[in-house]
Structures are given as structure tokens and as C-alpha cells.
């Protein structure tokens, strides 16, 4: 009797560790622990949570790019840098043409689209040739395209000194977006809760215009307790909605069928290769839009080698949300992006207060991110 119970317990444990939501469970526990630690150490918890929200918005679309890729059957899109590069190209073109504000943001997306779609379709056609090895091939394709574009950033003949080096040639490594659309989505319609330090009163600010109202409140007298980047969250929700609508459409259902069981789909008359290209191109487009949203929130564009490793955190986030290399939904994106980015945001000050030297949170990121991807890989290969 006792023996029986033990074996059933072991079975349950085995079942649990094998299920797709196991990483989510572990990371949730870890996240809760870190939050508790942060509160126990007396760190300002609400501002940290607010930062987590901002970073969630920044990264969500990049994570969302994994959904069409996984659904159409190419697996997690390790070639995300391809979309990121075309997104950066669009941003630079919009900058060069002198668009600012909302027009700059919109034009960045519009100008990036043709490049992105062409690159995404070519990339999808290539992935159709390498079925079964998409992950490693796309990783190295991404790497080589980043290096090739690095040459492109040097040779591009733009001379605006806000973008290009005043002496020598090529674009800067980091380009400030202050003059165009930096922080645009973060600030628009944003709600900020400030605490007046002398009285302890909470002031609520609602930013209706593009102007930074905060400038009237000096940081010496007021502390930001919580801020909601409303426009960015709305934009993210909108993009998520579009992708959701697509998955519910006829094409979306066929795309998913092609990814779920290619042989069966082919037998029932679905052109699997076509839908794989569609999914890959969509993922690439989301990568381009994602980096534009990311850059505006960060306030800077990062060129050259910066996009090299960009795919891995996005892949890890969607897996943390409960996706596998074969199944992903928008819920996985939202949960995963928030858990992973929240973990990284809150772990940083917690780790720094435990150990002042070194960068412990960076190590946590590496171990969590790659551990989660490894876990997902063992689920794909599995057995024989």
C-alpha cells in the first residue's frame, strides 16, 4: 500500500516535471521569492513593479513574434534578429526623412514593412528547405545577417550627425531618439502617481499631451511611486488582438494545422510550405515592430552587434509563459513576458543589495534564460 503511494507520488512528480508549465511553475515560485526578498529588504516595491510593467510593454511584441513562428511549425524563431534589423532600418529611414513624433513612429513601421516582408519571405523559403534543423540554422542565419548589416551600418551614406559619426564614417553604435519618437508611447496617456516627500501626499498625473508634465515636479520634492505607460500597453494589446484575430481567421486555423501536423495537413489539402512562409514572415514583421516599440521605450536605437543575441530572451520568455517548441498562444506571451521581465527587473536591486560587486542579476538571466530553452529542447527531442 505504502509502496503504491510512493510510486504514484513519483509518477506525479515525473508528470509534473515533464509538463510544459513546469518552467512557469518554477519561475513563478522564484519570482515570488524575489518579490518577498525585495519587500523584506525594504526596497521600494511599487516603483519596481512599475518598472516591470514598462519592461513588459517594451518586450512583449518581440515575445509575441514567437507565436506565429511556433504555430506554423518552424519552432521558436531564433532568427528574430532579421526582423529586428529591418525594424532598425525603418527607424533610421524615418529619422533621415525628418519625421518626428507620432509620424516618426508610424513612418518607422511603414518604411520597415517592405524590407521586413521581403526578408521574412526569403527567410521562410529558406527554412522550408531545412525542415527539422530550423533552430540551429536560423540561429546562425541571424548571426550572419547581423554581421552583414554591421557592414551596412558603416557604409550607409547618411550624414546627419545625430545618427552618424561626425568624423570618420558609419552610423553611431547608439542613436538617441530624443528628437524623434523616444518615450512617445511610454509617456502618451500615461498615468503617474507621485508622492510629495514633505507631506506624503499622493498626486495623480494624467498625461494627455505629448509633453512631459513631470518637468514641473522636481525629483527632490516628488518621488514617482507608480506609473502606467498607457499608450504602450494599448499598442501592445492592439497588436496582440490583431494576432489573435488572425489565429481565429481561416488562414490562422490553416496555419496552425500546418504546424501541428504537417503530414495530415498536406493530406487534407493545406499547402504547408505556404503557411510556414506566412508564419515566418509574420514573426519577422512582429520582430520589426517589436524593436521599434522597444527602441522608443529605451530612448535609443542600438546598432551593430546589439541585436546578435536578441532572440534568446524572447524565446525564453514565451517558454516561461508555458509555451513549447510546438505550441504557443498569446496568453503564454503575456504571462511569460511579464514573469521573465519582472524577474529580471526586481532581481537586479535585490541581487545588488545582497552582493554589491559584480553583476549577479546578469548571471541569473543567463542561467534562467538558457535553462528554460534547454528544458524545452529536451521536450522536443525526447527519447528516440
Q: Which residues bind other proteins (CB under 8 A)?
A: 78, 126, 129-133, 135-137, 139-141, 143-144, 146-148, 150-151, 154-155, 168-170, 312, 355, 357-360, 363, 366-367, 369-371, 373-374, 377-378, 380-384
Question: Please, are residues 98 and 303 in contact by the beta-carbon 8 Å criterion?
Answer: no
At 191, phi and psi to the nearest 5? -110, 130
- Alpha carbon separation from 64 to 207, 306, 313, 331 (Å, rounded): 28, 20, 12, 10
CB 306 to other proteins: min, Å:
13
Residue closer to other proteins, measured from CB, 155 or 241 = 155
Residue from 281, 318, 249 nearest 62 by CA: 318
CB 80 to other proteins: min, Å:
14
HEC states along 191-256? EEEEEECCCCCEEEEECCCCCCHHHHCCCCCEEEEEEECHHHHHHHHHHHHHHHHHHHCHHHHHHH
CB 140 to other proteins: min, Å:
4
CB 67 to other proteins: min, Å:
20
Residue closer to other proteins, measured from CB, 1 or 355 = 355
CB 173 to other proteins: min, Å:
11
Distance CA 133, CA 144 (A): 17
CB 130 to other proteins: min, Å:
4
Contacts 24+ apart (CB under 8 A), 1-6: none
Residue closer to other proteins, measured from CB, 131 or 201 = 131
CB 340 to other proteins: min, Å:
15
Residue closer to other proteins, measured from CB, 220 or 357 = 357
Residue 33 C-alpha cell reads as 521569492
Residue closer to other proteins, measured from CB, 110 or 137 = 137
CB 191 to other proteins: min, Å:
37
Residue closer to other proteins, measured from CB, 186 or 302 = 302
Distance CA 30, CA 235 (A): 29
Residue closer to other proteins, measured from CB, 249 or 378 = 378
- Cα angle at 236 between 231 and 241, to 5 degrees? 125
**Residue 346 neighbours by CB under 8 Å, 6+ apart:** 31, 34, 35, 38, 48, 49, 52
Question: Please, are residues 177 and 92 in contact by the beta-carbon 8 Å criterion?
Answer: no
**Residue 223 neighbours by CB under 8 Å, 6+ apart:** 47, 194, 195, 197
Residue closer to other proteins, measured from CB, 72 or 111 = 72
Amino acid at each position: 500500500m505504502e509502496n503504491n503511494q510512493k510510486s504514484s507520488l513519483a509518477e506525479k512528480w515525473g508528470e509534473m516535471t515533464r509538463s510544459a508549465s513546469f518552467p512557469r511553475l518554477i519561475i513563478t515560485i522564484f519570482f515570488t521569492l524575489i518579490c518577498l526578498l525585495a519587500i523584506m529588504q525594504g526596497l521600494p516595491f511599487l516603483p519596481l513593479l512599475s518598472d516591470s510593467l514598462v519592461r513588459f510593454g517594451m518586450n512583449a511584441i518581440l515575445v509575441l513574434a514567437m507565436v506565429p513562428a511556433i504555430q506554423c511549425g518552424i519552432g521558436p524563431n531564433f532568427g528574430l534578429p532579421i526582423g529586428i534589423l529591418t525594424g532598425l532600418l525603418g527607424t533610421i529611414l524615418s529619422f533621415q526623412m525628418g519625421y518626428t513624433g507620432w509620424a516618426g513612429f508610424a513612418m518607422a513601421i511603414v518604411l520597415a514593412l517592405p524590407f521586413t516582408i521581403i526578408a521574412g519571405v526569403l527567410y521562410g523559403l529558406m527554412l522550408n528547405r531545412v525542415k527539422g534543423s530550423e533552430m540551429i540554422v536560423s540561429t546562425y542565419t541571424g548571426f550572419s545577417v547581423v554581421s552583414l548589416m554591421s557592414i551596412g551600418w558603416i557604409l550607409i551614406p547618411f550624414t546627419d550627425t545625430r545618427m552618424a559619426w561626425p568624423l570618420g564614417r558609419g552610423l553611431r553604435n547608439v542613436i538617441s531618439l530624443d528628437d524623434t519618437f523616444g518615450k512617445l508611447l511610454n509617456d502618451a496617456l500615461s498615468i503617474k502617481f507621485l508622492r510629495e516627500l514633505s507631506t506624503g501626499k499622493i498626486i495623480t498625473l494624467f498625461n494627455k499631451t505629448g509633453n512631459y508634465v513631470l518637468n514641473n515636479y522636481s525629483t527632490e520634492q516628488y518621488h514617482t511611486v507608480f506609473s502606467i505607460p498607457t499608450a504602450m500597453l494599448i499598442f501592445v494589446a492592439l497588436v496582440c488582438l490583431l494576432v489573435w484575430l488572425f489565429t481565429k481567421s481561416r488562414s490562422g486555423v490553416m496555419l496552425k494545422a500546418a504546424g501541428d501536423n504537417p503530414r495530415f495537413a498536406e493530406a487534407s489539402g493545406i499547402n504547408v510550405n505556404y503557411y510556414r512562409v506566412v508564419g515566418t514572415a509574420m514573426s519577422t514583421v512582429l520582430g520589426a515592430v517589436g524593436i521599434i516599440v522597444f527602441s522608443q521605450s529605451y530612448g535609443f536605437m542600438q546598432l551593430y552587434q546589439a541585436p546578435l543575441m536578441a532572440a534568446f530572451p524572447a524565446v525564453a520568455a514565451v517558454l516561461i509563459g508555458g509555451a513549447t517548441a510546438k505550441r504557443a498562444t498569446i496568453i503564454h506571451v503575456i504571462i511569460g513576458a511579464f514573469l521573465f521581465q519582472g524577474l529580471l527587473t526586481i532581481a537586479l536591486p535585490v541581487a545588488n543589495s545582497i552582493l554589491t560587486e559584480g553583476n549577479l542579476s546578469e548571471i541569473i538571466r543567463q542561467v534562467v534564460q538558457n535553462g528554460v530553452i534547454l528544458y524545452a529542447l529536451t521536450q522536443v527531442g525526447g527519447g528516440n
